[in-house]
Each structure stands twice: as C-alpha cells, then as structure tokens.
A and B are shown apart, each in its own frame.
Chain A
Amino acid sequence: MVADMAASEAAERRKASGEGRKSEARVGTYVYGIVPADVEVSDDAGGGVGGPSAKVTVVRHDDIAALVSELRLDRPLGTPDDLMAHEGLLDATAAEVPVLPVRFGAVVTNPEAVVEELLAPYHDEFHAALDELEGRAEYVIKGRYVEQAVLTEIMEERPDLAELREQIKDQPEEATRDTRIQIGEIVDQAVNAKREADTQAALDAVTPVATLTSLRDPSHELDAVHLAVLVETARENELEQVVDKIGERWAGRVELRVLGPLAAYDFIVARGTGGG
C-alpha cells in the first residue's frame, strides 16, 4: 500500500512536470491561511497536507500572502496526518506572526488563482484583520470532569438518586432499564447544569486577561469547560496563572488543560456576517 502510493506519486509528478499546463487539474493548490507578506517558511517546517513531499510555500501579493502547498487530487482529504499537518502549520505560524486560518480542505487550481481571486480582491479586508491579530493568539481552555468525583457531587446534591440506586443494586440490567434511564437522565441534567456554572466561572476568570472570548460546544459528555480566548501573547503568563488558579480550585474534580498558542480559529468571522 505504502509502496504503491510512493510509486504512483513519483509517476504523478513525472506526469505533472511533463505537461506544462495542468488543465486536467490533477494537482491543486492547498491553502492554509493568510499572513503578512514578510513571512518566510523555514526550511525545517514539516510536510504539508498531502504528505511529506508537500512543501509549504508563500504566495505574495502586496502586503499580504497565503501559505500554500501543492496537492495531488487523486484521493479524498482528511486523514489524521492531513488534519495534523494543517493545524500544525497554522499553530506554529500563529506563535510567531498573525495568521488568518482557512478552514480545512480549501483547494484552488493554482497559485495564480490564489492571488487573483483571494489576495488581490480582498487585500484590504485581510490586511485589516491581520493588523487586529498582531501580537495576539488563541488559546483553548478545556476542562473534563473526573467522572467519579462529579458523580459523587451529584449524589450528594440529589438524595433521590441514592434511592433509585438502591432499586437497581444487584438487579439484572434488563429488569431495571427504566430506572437506569431515569438515573441517567438526572445525572445528565446535573452534569449539564454544572458545565454551565463552571463554564461561566472560567469565563469570568479569564475575561480580564482576554481580548475576546468565545464559547465552544462541548466535545464530550463530561466536558466541564470548552472555551477559546484571544490573548496578547505577552500576557500568556497571566492567562496561565488564572487558569492554574481555577485548576487548583477544581483539583480532583476537573482536569484542566490550556492549548496554545493557536491560530485564531474561533475569532475569524465569515464574510458578510459582521466583524469580530
């Protein structure tokens, strides 16, 4: 499988270089994001979307530029490697310079089209957005309940659960299905209420150090907090201190992580839906 791919890749490249015009669109230009024009891609940057041979380059127009790489169009996109390559490049970039992340999977015909249809017509719009991001990056705060701890809390708060629990104790699952569902619903509602309260507490704590905040949908039923913040990179330490303080307060009941610096995925508002 791997050998086959390597062989066909080589054949494809020969073919692509043989034909001057890629009118069949066998190869496209993958677009990662938009950056200021003075950005350079370092040589040690890893491969892009589409494998290690996909070399990331910069297409410039005036004051702005796009990070792109060549992409073969003979397979669907979205393998774990593709996803990691996309975000890896954007986050590494965001740690250094402002970058407008493009949603995963953006492909245009060639680098000239990137200039003509993306960079040139929207130059001022992108330039203004990059200015706003100067010196700032996104961080994501993720908290996950420690199941046993949060269930213990809920049992304390809901005495009716203990009673229901007695009813299913040592009973076969089939015989107690309704009671189990009833227990589960109560727990689920209680977890949701806790998530709401804990998310608000986290939001209140980080708001003073953040330029912007944005709530994310929970990505797991035991999520306690899922929050994106735009922070001046110079204040990263302050953010960490604030989050550590919450983490200490929640020790044993919530596992808290900070991801970042990341590209500002949660703060790029689509065209026509207003600025952020």
Chain B
Amino acid sequence: MTVQPAGGVAQRPTATGLADVIDSILDKGLVIDAYVRVSLVGIELLTIDARIVVASVDTYLRYAEAVNRLDLSESGGQGLPELMQNMKQGMVADKGKDAVEGVLESAADKLEGLVGGPEDDQERQPSRRRKDGG
C-alpha cells in the first residue's frame, strides 16, 4: 500500500504560499471577541481581499479572448484525450503554471502595496496577463 503512483501529479509543496495562508487564517478559526471582552485590544488590520471569485464583465472578456486564442487543432478525428495529451506536452502546461503564479504574485504585490502606503492598489486587475501575439 505504500506504492508511490508514477507521475506525481499531486505535488506536495513544503511551504504554503501567501495566497494559501490568506485563505486559511483571515476568516477562519476561533474569534477571540467571542471569549475575551474586557481585555481585548483593538488593533487595525490591513484589509486584504485577494479573492476574485465573482464573475464580472472583465472575467467574461478574458474568457472570450482565451477562447479566441485557443488553437484547436482542426485535423479532425482527433479525440479529446489525444488532444489534451498533445496540449499537455506543448505549451499549455507552462501557461497554466504562469497563470497560477501570476495570481500568487499579485496577491503578494497587493499586500506589499498596502503595507507601503494607502495607495489604491485594490482595484488593480489581480491577474496580469501577457498579450501573446496571435
């Protein structure tokens, strides 16, 4: 039962990234106010909203652009599994990774921006996207 599956698809990072941390500790866990009342010290918290879940027109336009760029190999007869296999070997895997890292980076950028000063960085589009020609 200790056989390691080949491929190692599910990666096990040694440390969790900032984006992962934000998901865990800001709105989860024991709320101290529910217990301590007299000796509670109010302290200003930098507000962080790294979540980009609500679909917006920006999201739609981005999806449309991605669909537009999508290079479906029109050789015909090629089944979906094969197609995905090809894409995996090609540039797609890298692109996916870029997108993930872009979001992680931008979450960190945002935090640093807040720490540096009260610049209105919050409104910035969180996911930077390079405009690939073609």
**Interface of A with B (CB < 8 Å)?**
25, 28, 31, 33-34, 71, 73, 76-80, 83-84, 86-87, 90-91, 100-110, 113, 116-118, 121-122, 140, 142, 144-149, 151-153, 155-156, 161, 165, 168-169, 177, 179-181, 183-185, 187-188, 216-222, 226, 237-238, 240-241, 243-248, 250-253, 255-259, 262-263, 265-266, 268, 270-272
In Å, the complex CA distance between A252 and B93 comes to 7
- Contact between B68 and A168 (Cβ–Cβ < 8 Å)? yes
- Contact between A152 and B28 (Cβ–Cβ < 8 Å)? no
Q: Select B96's contact among A73, A121, A147, A244, beta carbons within 8 Å.
A: A147
Given contacts A148-B95, A184-B62, A259-B16, contact A165 B36 (CB under 8 A): no
- Contact between A148 and B10 (Cβ–Cβ < 8 Å)? no
Q: How far is the CB of A111 from chain B (nearest CB, A)?
A: 10
Q: Select B87's contact among A107, A152, A188, A221, beta carbons within 8 Å.
A: A152
Residues of chain A lying within 8 A (CB to CB) of residue B70: 148, 151-152, 155
Given contacts A147-B95, A219-B53, contact A87 B34 (CB under 8 A): no
- Contact between A257 and B24 (Cβ–Cβ < 8 Å)? no
- Contact between A78 and B45 (Cβ–Cβ < 8 Å)? yes
In Å, the complex CA distance between A272 and B96 comes to 43
Q: Select B111's contact among A79, A104, A107, A263, beta carbons within 8 Å.
A: A79
Please provide the chain B residues from 94 to 115 with a CB less than 8 Å away from any CB of chain A in the complex: 95-97, 99-100, 103, 108, 111-112, 114-115
